[in-house]
Structure 1
């Protein structure tokens, strides 16, 4: 009702009252509040996009994000798509006038500028004005939608419930606005996170292979730390010889503070290639690993040079998992070795 009245102060008061009541009722109340807000989100914009931020806060306080699965990713993708259209529309309408910063103008001013030119006014009916208003709103409210989505996308249940098609749209639209939104950069990274993803690791020197499953790993630096923790051990038990990572590095990659700092960084234990012979950068993400015969494959080689990492993971509140499912049977390992690129299966 407060949103229908158009009163920003009354809306803010109502949102605060909702938040206070939900927090007092605990997780069930927080989840109920998220579920109540979710159906409102598709039609909101401008100042009222803060409703999405509130929904994200309710999740941070202990509410379930699952009621937002069907609405928030699509609304955030739409906000990025519309935001990407603003510069071209503005340039066409103003003849190259500098586009105002989102903090220094209002939606009404932007719409007025977009529609006041004579050649625009002739074709601007109420429907067209409504569309332009929604586009203009995106110039100011996009990061509100993205901030809320970033909050809930760290939850594996939420990520796995979002369709691959929607994730691809999020990555596409995020790329178009990443130059002016750090939130969009994080969205693109979260939409690329793999969950319940099989991974085969081959040690060509020992002619051993390992089957693993990974979820919630934000970057390859984090993957390198976790791989070393899972695979390095007693070769007599089928593991990889070497020095295991320190507990501090593993904690930084999992549940502790991710920040290691320049004086006590983590260091890589392996030089990794994919099954096609392409080096795997610690700065990349697991989704960059090109599948071989439908499976992501990593091949271990001795380090050529040390690579240091000052952070253990990209997303502090995203829980990673890397399970060692087992050591491959010799025949299966040999089968993978025959499929690797020649330079990959040898020490290069």
Structure 2
């Protein structure tokens, strides 16, 4: 069923039949709901091929469909080059839109109508063709950002993302002006295979860890507690480990457990500054090539929900080495001498 639906989609593209194209996209989505993994993977390969053949401005909902199939379980890899290319092209024109929008004119809401008026205003500073091109990009960002969010939740995509620097520069520059880019800003900042040193001053314990795929510091706190609280005889921190439901919310379970999630530490960086839960691991400063976290007592109870920012991004916090006491003492002495 899915194979036939994708075939109809391909025919609509070849015949440039817009009405059949929109109907075919809906049929593919409907057929994909019960399709096995192999069929989803095959469909994404064919959708990626279509995206590679079509101009950026005529793809309509096709990139969104590809991202939706990834969310159903299809491999994201075939889509990545086309999504990155389409998103970079669109964002560059959005940059032109912002830079050249006439002063004194109210900038349109990118989530609403108003295309014709947008073109009219832009025609004051652009040719008619360029005005249409720039205006279209302003309204089309979501068609590319949504599938980008879907594929970037996969570690293998983040590890081998083409044109990462160009994409990150555009997203970071335009993100403050486009709230719909917020999730992309966060995903492009996600750390993978990042070395951490974590110290617990009260017990004199210290650890080297590798952190990947953690979207926020509340999530990081839960996963550090789950990894490091345990038997003192095993070199871990004495205490009550986090509720398994909280850990599931931070990894691959229900995002919002009843009653929320409770904190067990106050996270502090090597300068003595609090590591705010609303931030992200990439914000934690680096010292000698590693991000250093001190686990301190909570000054007051904290609760939060959800347990993770990105539902399909699977984090790992791997304990690599328990530091001997002499190394922990050296670290703590070093931190006491750091400028505050």
Same-fold call, TM cutoff 0.5: yes
The residue aligned with 1:61 is: 72
Question: Is the counterpart of residue 144 in structure 1 residue 143 in structure 2?
Answer: yes
Instruction: Give the SS at the match of 2:273.
Output: coil
The residue aligned with 1:307 is: 302
Question: Is the counterpart of residue 111 in structure 1 residue 110 in structure 2?
Answer: no
Per-residue CA deviation, residues 190-246 of structure 1 (Å, 9 max, x unaligned), is 111111222111123332211211111111001111111111122232111222211
Which whole-Å CA distance do the structure 2 matches of 1:172 and 1:228 have between them? 36
The residue aligned with 1:166 is: 164
Which whole-Å CA distance do the structure 2 matches of 1:312 and 1:167 have between them? 29
Per-residue CA deviation, residues 2-26 of structure 1 (Å, 9 max, x unaligned), is 4576543122133345556667763
The residue aligned with 1:233 is: 230
How many matched pairs?
Answer: 328
Alignment of 1:45-124 (within 5 A): 45-46=56-57, 48-91=59-102, 96-102=104-110, 103-106=112-115, 110-115=118-123, 117=124, 120=125, 124=127
Instruction: Give the SS at the match of 1:304.
Output: coil
Which whole-Å CA distance do the structure 1 matches of 2:15 and 2:176 have between them? 34
The residue aligned with 2:4 is: none
- Give the drift of 1:280: 0.7
8 Å contact kept, 2:87–2:145: yes
Which whole-Å CA distance do the structure 1 matches of 2:160 and 2:254 have between them? 28
Does the C-alpha gap of structure 1 residues 251 and 210 become closer, same or farther in structure 2, counting only changes over 3 Å?
same
Which whole-Å CA distance do the structure 1 matches of 2:13 and 2:122 have between them? 25
Does the C-alpha gap of structure 1 residues 265 and 60 become closer, same or farther in structure 2, counting only changes over 3 Å?
closer
Which whole-Å CA distance do the structure 1 matches of 2:92 and 2:302 have between them? 37
Does the C-alpha gap of structure 1 residues 300 and 19 become closer, same or farther in structure 2, counting only changes over 3 Å?
closer
Any gaps of 5 or more consecutive residues in structure 1? none
Corresponding residue to 1:186 among 183, 186, 189: 183
Does the C-alpha gap of structure 1 residues 276 and 73 become closer, same or farther in structure 2, counting only changes over 3 Å?
farther
Which whole-Å CA distance do the structure 1 matches of 2:129 and 2:43 have between them? 29
The residue aligned with 1:287 is: 282
Corresponding residue to 2:311 among 316, 324, 331: 316
Alignment of 1:237-256 (within 5 A): 237-256=234-253
Alignment of 1:256-267 (within 5 A): 256-260=253-257, 264-267=259-262
Does the C-alpha gap of structure 1 residues 13 and 154 become closer, same or farther in structure 2, counting only changes over 3 Å?
same
> Larger deviation: 204-213 or 40-49?
40-49
Structure 1 outlier segments of 4+, above 4 Å:
3-7, 17-25
8 Å contact kept, 2:56–2:86: no
Instruction: Give the SS at the match of 1:340.
Output: helix
Which whole-Å CA distance do the structure 1 matches of 2:29 and 2:253 have between them? 29
8 Å contact kept, 2:215–2:309: yes
8 Å contact kept, 2:175–2:185: no
8 Å contact kept, 1:231–1:240: yes
8 Å contact kept, 2:91–2:170: no
Which whole-Å CA distance do the structure 2 matches of 1:216 and 1:229 have between them? 16
> Larger deviation: 313-322 or 283-292?
313-322
Instruction: Give the SS at the match of 1:299.
Output: strand
8 Å contact kept, 1:167–1:192: no
